[in-house]
């Protein structure tokens, strides 16, 4: 396997400054109030007056329904449906082919705020492009960037953040969010949401574990990157973490109101929960014994929008309705939460004529455009750390005729992370070298061990089906291709097994069966890694490490 030495080049940086006006767009001053059925539809009015008028026309039942992630349309008032949560960590994810930029940790390696802002702007354009295709399903509230500090290399989500340094993380997050937000003084291209507040760095037991943070580390380290991006008016939303901080669930943290909203954010800002986190107050943290109490506390703590149970709003609606009936919260509390949300919705331009909002003119032709492809290439080049070139191997001389051997399992592999977009094209190191000097001068070998497994019970070899649907079975009399596997050593005696029968990786299923059905090791919990444990009789047991 090829090994590299990574050298991180650091450079001085100064604080990004940005400004955002909260007045109506200048062109709106020419509008006539009598053209609109309701004052909240008039773009010539200040946002707060529009919000107040809209809220005054909602029934209590409608207000409760609008507290869920999937905010329904209110046809009688002409209010469209609104959904929070489009994934845009390093490109638009999960909606179809889109430009995929380097992972977040790679973007931070560039130390280039101007470039990162351009990338954020390109991603924001593509969010708007998908929104143009399906406004109800593809919302303009994006759950990015991640500003969790990478304080432990064992955390499985380190590629989602920028660095362990609060200054660098704050600067890069501000640049990326500024691009997502756009440069218009009033309208927002997208609504960036910072994740995950606060002290979130473990996946195991994340729903109820507690991070212990002393006051100095809290102020100087953990809060700092959030403060940087929010105070610069780069982000207009925030998502609490799953874990507790000093034994209080982060979703109930007093810092959400006292610090985030009152000290940093100002008026136009809302806080949205992570998926299933509201019900987790009861189910995981065991902090309350009823969802009514949990949701009431969350609203009082500053949660403006509940992400729970996917598209099904019933738990949220029932919990809030029960909390109202029990007097745990009042209609005024809901009004405040909805005011925070609608103050941002008005700035997305969804209630205004398209000619006023420059981002309404972005259509799906911006998705994976040649311009964005070139920007992704530039970002990848700048994200690469330096290699020591003692023997002047690089650059390859295309005029010479030596052959090049590319050896190692990563030479012709492009791995995707959880929040990667759907890649419209792929280039591996092998592809790049072949493009440079010609395919006829390049040879490739993965360098993997090929092996077979004979069952101690049946005496037959383990086989994998060709269709990727049948469980592994010990049924072959001979070690043939259908019974052969490529074993890749990932270190610490951990291996992946790829079936030669179909080229897919063996994965542990929920029912305990093993099936070769995965293109790559993947998923929230990786179920494609194994260890071989020697038994007293000399045989080996294959143990899944998920």
Tokens linked to 140:
């303009």
3-state SS string for 297-343: HHHHHCCCEECCCCCCCHHHHHHHHHHHHCCCCCHHHHHHHHHHHHH
**Residue-level pLDDT at 545:** 87
Query: How far is the C-alpha of 178 from the C-alpha of 118, rounded, in Å?
Result: 9
| 497, containing H or E segment | strand 495-499
For all residues of the chain together, what is the average pLDDT? 92
Share of the chain above pLDDT 70, in %: 93
Q: Does residue 312 surpass a pLDDT of 60?
A: yes
pLDDT, residue 394, reads 76
- Residue 10's pLDDT is what? 32
The pLDDT of residue 227: 98
- How high is the pLDDT of residue 279? 98
pLDDT per residue over 353-403, tens digit each? Answer: 999 999 999 999 999 999 999 999 999 999 988 778 888 877 777 666 788
Classify residue 286 as exposed, middle or buried by CB count within 10 Å of its CB (0-12, 13-18, 19+).
exposed
pLDDT recorded at residue 446: 94
Cα–Cα distance measured from residue 461 to residue 452, given in angstroms and rounded to the nearest whole number? 7
Tokens at residue 341, please? 């949300």
Let me know if 444 is exposed, middle or buried by CB neighbors in 10 A (0-12, 13-18, 19+).
Answer: middle
Residue 419 backbone phi and psi in degrees, to 5: -100, 20
List b or e across 332-364, with b for residues whose CB sees 16 or more CB atoms inside 10 angstroms.
ebbbebbbbbbbbbbbbbbbbeeebbebbebee
pTM: 0.89
pLDDT band, residue 24 (cuts 50/70/90): confident
Report the alpha-carbon angle 150-152-154, nearest 5: 115
- The pLDDT, as a whole number, for residue 48 is 97
Which residue, among 452, 455, 459, has the nearest Cα to 480 in the 3D structure?
Answer: 452
Contact 366, 128 (CB under 8 A): yes
Q: Alpha carbon of 535 to those of 70, 230, 445, 497, 530: distances in Å?
A: 53, 56, 33, 20, 16
pLDDT greater than 90 at residue 7: no
Annotated catalytic sites, by residue?
274
Q: Using one digit for the tens of pLDDT, what is the confidence trace for 473-504?
A: 999 999 998 899 999 999 889 999 999 999 99
Short-list 248, 245, 259, 252, CA closest to 278: 252
CB 231 within 8 A of CB 264: yes
Range 174-189 average pLDDT: 98
Per-residue model confidence (pLDDT) at position 346: 98
CATH code: domain 449-544 is 2.80.10.50
**What pLDDT sits at residue 201?**
86
Residue 32: its pLDDT value, please?
A: 56
Q: Span 219-245, mean pLDDT? A: 98
Of 330-339, 472-481, 520-529, minimum mean pLDDT range: 520-529
pLDDT in tens, 249-268: 999 999 999 999 999 998 89
The proportion of the chain whose per-residue pLDDT surpasses 90, expressed as a percent, equals 82
* Residues 6+ positions from 359 with CB-CB distance below 8 Å: 128, 182, 184, 187, 188, 189, 349
DSSP state of 20: -
Residue extents of the structural domains in the chain? 26-366, 397-447, 449-544
Q: Give the mean model confidence (pLDDT) for residues 46-66.
A: 98
Q: Given this model, what pLDDT does residue 398 score?
A: 65
- In this predicted structure, the answer to whether residue 20 has a pLDDT above a threshold of 60 is no
Of the candidates 233, 279, 292, 311, the residue with the CA atom closest to the CA atom of residue 69? 311
What does the pLDDT look like over 410-422, one tens digit per residue? 999 988 888 999 9
185: DSSP letter = S
Residue owning tokens 């052969």: 484
H-type helices in 146-193, by residue range? 166-181
- Calculate helix-pair angle for 370-383, 113-133, nearest 10 degrees: 140
Pairwise CA distance, residues 429 & 410, whole Å: 8
Residue 106's CB is within 10 A of a number of other CB atoms, namely: 18
- Above 70 in pLDDT, residue 19? no
Residue 423 in contact with residue 368, Cβ under 8 Å? no
At 33, the pLDDT band (50, 70, 90 cuts) reads low
* pLDDT band at 14; cut points 50, 70, 90: very low
The pLDDT assigned to 2 comes to 35
State the pLDDT at residue 476.
94
The pLDDT-based confidence of 21 (bands split at 50, 70, 90) is very low
The architecture of the domain spanning 26-366 is Alpha-Beta Barrel (3.20)
**Torsion sign over Cα 268, 170, 103, 251:** negative
CA distance readout (Å), 392 to 2, 386, 395, 505: 17, 14, 7, 38
Instruction: State the pLDDT at residue 12.
Output: 34
**Nearest to residue 494, comparing CAs of 454, 532, 440?**
532
Lowest mean pLDDT, pick from 1-10, 382-391, 458-467: 1-10
């Amino acid at each position: 396997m090829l090994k590299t030495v990574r050298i991180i080049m650091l450079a001085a940086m100064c604080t990004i400054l940005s400004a955002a006006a909260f007045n109506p767009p200048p062109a709106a001053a020419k509008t006539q109030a009598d053209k609109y059925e309701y004052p909240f539809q008039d773009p010539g009015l200040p946002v707060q007056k529009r919000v107040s008028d809209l809220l005054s026309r909602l029934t209590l039942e409608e207000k409760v329904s609008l507290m869920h992630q999937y905010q329904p349309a209110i046809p009688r008032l002409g209010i469209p449906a609104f959904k929070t949560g489009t994934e845009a960590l390093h490109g638009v994810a999960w909606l179809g082919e889109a430009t995929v930029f380097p992972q977040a940790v790679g973007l931070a390696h560039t130390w280039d705020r101007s470039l990162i802002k351009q990338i954020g702007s390109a991603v924001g354009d593509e969010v708007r492009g998908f929104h143009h295709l399906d406004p109800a399903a593809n919302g303009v509230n994006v759950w990015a960037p991640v500003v969790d500090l990478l304080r432990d290399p064992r955390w499985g989500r380190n590629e989602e953040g920028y660095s362990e340094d609060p200054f660098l993380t704050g600067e890069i997050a501000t640049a990326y969010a500024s691009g997502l937000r756009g440069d218009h003084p009033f309208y927002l291209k997208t609504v960036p949401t910072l994740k995950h507040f606060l002290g979130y760095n473990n996946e195991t037991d994340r729903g109820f574990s507690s991070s212990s943070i002393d006051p100095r580390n809290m102020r100087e380290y953990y809060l700092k990157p959030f403060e940087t991006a929010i105070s610069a008016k780069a982000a207009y939303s925030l998502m609490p973490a799953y874990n507790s901080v000093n034994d209080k669930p982060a979703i109930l943290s007093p810092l959400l109101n006292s610090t985030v909203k009152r000290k940093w954010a100002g008026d136009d800002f809302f806080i949205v929960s992570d998926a299933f986190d509201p019900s987790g107050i009861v189910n995981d943290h065991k902090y309350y014994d009823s969802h009514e109490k949990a949701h009431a506390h969350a609203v009082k703590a500053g949660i403006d929008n509940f992400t729970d149970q996917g598209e099904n709003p019933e738990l949220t609606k029932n919990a809030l309705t029960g909390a109202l009936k029990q007097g745990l919260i009042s209609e005024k509390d809901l009004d405040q939460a909805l005011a925070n949300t609608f103050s941002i919705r008005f700035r997305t331009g969804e209630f205004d004529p398209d000619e006023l909002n420059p981002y309404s003119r972005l259509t799906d032709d911006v998705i994976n455009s040649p311009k964005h492809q070139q920007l992704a290439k530039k970002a990848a080049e700048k994200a690469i750390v330096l290699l020591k070139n003692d023997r002047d191997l690089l650059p390859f001389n295309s005029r010479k005729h030596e052959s090049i051997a590319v050896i190692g399992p990563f030479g012709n592999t492009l791995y995707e992370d959880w929040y990667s977009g759907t890649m419209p094209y792929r280039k591996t190191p092998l592809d790049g070298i072949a493009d440079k000097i010609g395919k006829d001068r390049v040879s490739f070998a993965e360098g993997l061990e090929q092996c077979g497994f004979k069952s101690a019970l049946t005496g037959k070899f383990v086989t994998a089906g060709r269709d990727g649907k049948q469980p592994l079975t010990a049924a072959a009399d001979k070690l043939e291709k259908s019974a052969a596997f490529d074993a890749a050593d990932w270190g610490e005696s951990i291996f992946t097994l790829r079936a030669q029968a179909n080229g897919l990786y063996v994965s542990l299923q929920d029912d305990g069966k093993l099936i070769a059905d995965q293109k790559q090791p993947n998923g929230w919990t990786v179920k494609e890694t194994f260890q071989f444990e020697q038994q007293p009789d000399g045989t080996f047991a294959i143990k899944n490490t998920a």
